[in-house]
Amino acid sequence: MSKAQGVSKPVAAADPLFQWKAKASLPKILPMGMQHVVAAVVSTVGPALMVSKNCGLDDATTTLLVQMALLMTAFSTILMLFPVTKYIGSGLPVIMGVGFTIPTLMSKTFTLPEILGAQIIAGVVAILFGLCIKPIRKLFPPLVTGTVILAVGMNLYPVAIKYMAGGAGTPDFSSPKNWGVAIFTFALVLAFQNFGKGFLKLGAVLWGLVGGYLLALLLGMVDFSSVGGAGWFAVATPVKSFGLEFNGSAILAMAILYIANSLQTIGDISSTTMGGMERMPTDQELQGGIISQGVTSVIGALFGGLSTCSYSQNVGIVTMNKVINRSVFAFAAVVLGVAGLVPKFSAVLTTIPNAVLGGATISVFSIIAMTGVNMIVSAGPFTMRNRTIVGLAAALGIGVTMAPGCLELFPMWVQNVFGSFAPVGAAVVAVILNLILPKDPDPETK
């Protein structure tokens, strides 16, 4: 068995779960696949709910947005698993789906039609980035990529905090009831993450959300009015369901964020092949993964599916249990897709209160930030040069967004792009500093 098939140890060859294309029985596929469903569902539904709340969408539109998030997660995962050409799809055990970062950040400033319009152009940028991945990779070493991802996570912290308080602008914002439910939800997630085992640990965010939801239900904080009018089967109508608008500022911001998102995909694909297959990914696998991400984002925008990315939490499962059988991941995609075809199910998910969503997702945002820290640490000793790049990029990227009015004399596109999105400024500063600052001497040549 070759390493290209993901098996390098004789013991692994004895079990089809540890082989990419081997035939595995349903009793073996079922529990392994459900682990990935549990790990992915909150990250799939959460962004749609946050975008809906930030953009002020009605219940019916929110239900449709959640529905499309589930469907696009299923579609993008299948495309990743089964490449249609050598350029689209990596053929690796990676779960793809709607990402938290880009939709949540964009919805703080732009409308849903503007987000979807920008997503089409940004998806094309991702495709071009994928085609040029080999020469471009040197501009984004782990130090730069980690700094950008750190800025992404930190820029999302205020979003989660506002939701924990009940959602900015709501009548009961900052009420003790909201904070109590949010902290209870957060405490459950923390407990499952650190003391749980198996499914409890892997699905910590989901179980915390369920517990918080039940408490909110007992306290009368859940409104089921949107569920009754939802149907049992429906699919979105292309373009007409949400509309498309092309805003220059939104396009520029999302294009830059898509490049940062592609860097995360490189990291996730590399972690998957290293942890589950004991090898580095090929250029073609990286290229296919990023191009696939761009293609699904363009297609998704036409139906109301938000931007896609690789799911780091699912990558963590692969690196932990070494299960890489393609049928396991295809099963997970089918389950998520079937759920997306049932508006009634999607409508139930839209009843999650803001406080519960904030309490559950703040840990997701912290994991994003810590992923960046981990990449920074992996870049080598934290020398003065590295501290300068990380510190200044984070300071300027995040600092500008936390100082309202500091760019008010600049053109509006500058205010919208750099004043709202910390990762954009952080990326620009980190890349420039990494190019102009003298390299640290090689310890072996001293």
Residue 233 has pLDDT above 80, yes or no: no
Helix axes 59-81, 26-55, angle to 10 degrees: 140
Query: What is the distance between the terminal CA atoms of the chain, rounded to a whole angstrom?
Result: 43
SS3 308: strand
| H/E segment holding residue 347 | helix 343-349
The pLDDT mean for the chain works out to 81
Alpha-carbon gap, residue 31 to 328, rounded angstroms? 9
C-alpha angle 78-84-89 in degrees, rounded to nearest 5: 60
Instruction: Read off the pLDDT of residues 431-446 as tens digits, 9 standing for 90 and up.
Output: 999 999 998 886 655 5
pTM value surpassing 0.85: no
- What is the per-residue pLDDT for 321? 66
Those residues with Cβ within 8 angstroms of residue 226's Cβ, 6 or more apart along the chain or in another chain: 59, 60, 62, 63, 347, 350, 351
- What is the per-residue pLDDT for 425? 83
The answer to whether 108 and 51 are in contact (CB under 8 A) is: no
Which residue stretches of 379-437 are H helix?
384-401, 412-418, 422-436
Task: Tell which wins on pLDDT, 418 or 392.
Answer: 392
Least confidently predicted of 266-270, 358-362, 407-411: 266-270
Residue 138 has pLDDT above 90, yes or no: no
Instruction: Read off the pLDDT of residues 23-72 as tens digits, 9 standing for 90 and up.
Output: 888 887 887 787 677 667 767 877 888 788 788 887 778 878 888 888 99
C-alpha angle 298-134-442 in degrees, rounded to nearest 5: 135
Residue type present at position 297: S
Give mean pLDDT, residues 306-327: 77
Alpha-carbon gap, residue 431 to 446, rounded angstroms? 27
How many residues does the structure list for the chain?
A: 446
Residue 152 has pLDDT above 50, yes or no: yes
Instruction: Read off the pLDDT of residues 179-203 as tens digits, 9 standing for 90 and up.
Output: 999 999 999 988 988 888 766 776 6
Give mean pLDDT, residues 410-415: 76
Give mean pLDDT, residues 278-288: 83
Alpha-carbon gap, residue 389 to 432, rounded angstroms? 9
